[in-house]
Amino acid sequence: MQPLQGITVVSLEQAIAAPYASRQLADLGARVIKVERPLVGDFARSYDTRVEGQSSHFVWTNRSKESLTLDIKDPRGLAVLRQLLATADVFLQNLAPGAAARAGLGAEELQAANPGLVVCDISGYGLGGPYESMKAYDLMVQAEAGVLSVTGTEDEVAKVGISVSDIAAGMYAYSSILAALIERARTGRGARLDVSMLEATVEWMGFPLYYAYDGAPPPPRAGAAHATIYPYGPFVAGDGVTVMMAIQNEREWRRFCERFLGDVTLADREEYATNAARNDHRESLGRIIAARFAELTGEGAATALAAVPVAHARVSTMQDVWDHPQLAARDRWHRVATPGGEVRALAPPGVVDDTPRMDPVPALGEHTRAILGELGLGRDEIDALAADHVV
């Protein structure tokens, strides 16, 4: 399943948001040319050395791409990039706010030369407005979008443990680019996309925003438990194992009382009869549920919950995820080559394909000479650019 074969994406990208978006396009068959700084490359390459000497972030977001080193501050480097963009289908960038436009890489200018080009700018806060020029890393946007206000415990806020604002922006860039390509197939015209990390994250904040609608109190920080649905969260079994469980409706609640707690009359008690009532009385109800969990091992509790049936889960470590039986049974792990050796990688979610595209993670500048050759530059020209660190 490679529906984007024949589509060329040029991505002036760094860190997570744009590389994550372009990797999704590469997964579907697009040719992705990743433009990096000569000598140093995407700074995410040096975040850590956990994956065969390479950065965990970089290996995750950069498979199936070609690496072209280019100094676009040098007129010769900028000319090469413009030549690439003259025939590309998509230009994606997440440089510092305004940097691409100042370099002459704004949508209006690029589309004058290539009317079918889809231009996608990713930034922290979007073009225009008082926050336009602010630097925006994932944690900063989580804070501005209100994520921190609803994440953590009663005593302390906490960031989400993954780069949720980067990922949100990357996925909206990806889906918006796909939509723009479909539109272009009808009209022949490219599009200008302005993806904001703030707006992508606030879109995901819909539940707490509406829960706090018109000045109502926001959902409280509840740690690993759900802020407004109960019981929904962690419970500790008698052997110390934490089991996650969730009740979503009154039918489940009644069966849970009867088959797990052994007291169906709890379902009809006024203080527990509805979710809103259970949420208001979660302290007293929590003691009843905790006492039952204390009688069981973690495995026994999971078995009893499955018999109800009630949604439940173990709290997996990272090693548990690598070894997850469901992922193994569905053959979701494949191998990807990297400059440090082959590593395991998850197949693209949703794609049903025995041989999904899982091409190598590129070394810095690995494809520079080949790409410049495609553009018609001779060996001497390329050598001169390399000598001056333009490529």
Catalytic residue list: 166
Tell me how far CA of residue 129 lies from CA of 196, 202, 335, in angstroms: 12, 16, 44
- Which residues, other chains included, contact 241 with Cβ-Cβ below 8 Å and sequence gap of 6+? 297, 298, 299, 301, 314
Tell me how far CA of residue 169 lies from CA of 10, 77, 183, 202, 368, in angstroms: 18, 28, 21, 11, 28
Tell me how far CA of residue 138 lies from CA of 70, 142, 165, in angstroms: 26, 6, 5
Phi then psi for residue 60, to 5 deg, are: -60, -40
Find tokens 């009644």 and name the residue: 254
Residues in the chain, total: 391
- Decide: residue 232, CB within 10 A, 0-12 exposed, 13-18 middle, 19+ buried: buried
Q: Which H or E run contains 102?
A: helix 99-102
DSSP state, residue 311: E
